[in-house]
Structure 1
């Protein structure tokens, strides 16, 4: 798991998803429909984070950026690296139903063409 994470960081360090002709593809869902999916901007957000640009990452996909500590907690749980005091929290956060509501709500909100919802659109 650490090797995969290191490989992802290396790719994101060297490949700029914002550059024309980038090896990292744009969102296929957005390209086909013109609608932002919940993951739109995630690659660009991770690229910005790898380069230390938190504001840029938040501009691309705030849900992903704000979810990263929870994702790290869940990965630590799966890998068996989670300290004993955090098992209860990880168990509560592993219920998929609230996450489905959050992700679907985020997907709808980021496509509403009015402020403040436009702040959720990538870019």
Structure 2
């Protein structure tokens, strides 16, 4: 005899939506913690392992302090801590919004084709930034956090 109780084979929450929930939760929780605690004055966040080992700045040094300043509405101070991070944030924000739209509507926002040479160029820019911010001479010293 066939059961009148049918079990659906489709998940209640799709994997993409679950991924979106996890990503959004991590971003939200991280933003709340980063807004609440200033990385420059508290020991809540770990220090940079690269800076601890070498005494030099990495490409990401100053990002936490910069994000804290952005969350507080201080774009100038954020740019002073890590200009490259501030310049790349709009692309990360667009990526998140695009993913959100795709998860909830099934349609994606415009995804420009990025030529592999451009990706390599971005890598070279990050490496150059990493090197230049450690030169203790103006104007390169302006890149240090």
Q: Please identify runs of 4+ aligned residues in structure 1 that moved more than 6 A.
A: none
Gaps of 5+ in 2: 1-22
The whole-number CA distance in structure 2 between the counterparts of 1:30 and 1:87 is 36
1:60 deviates by 0.5
Determine the structure 2 residue equivalent to 1:63. 84
2:40 maps to which residue? 18
1:3 to 10, 25, 28: 25
More helix by share: 1
The TM-score normalised by the length of structure 1 is 0.85
- Structure number with greater Rg is 2
Other-structure match for 2:16: none
What value does the CA root-mean-square deviation take over the aligned residues? Answer: 2.1
Change (3 A) 1:117 1:93: farther
Residue 101 of structure 1: aligned partner: 124
Q: How does 1:1-123 map to 2 (within 5 A)?
A: 1-19=23-41, 21-79=42-100, 80=102, 84=109, 86-88=110-112, 91-92=113-114, 96-122=119-145
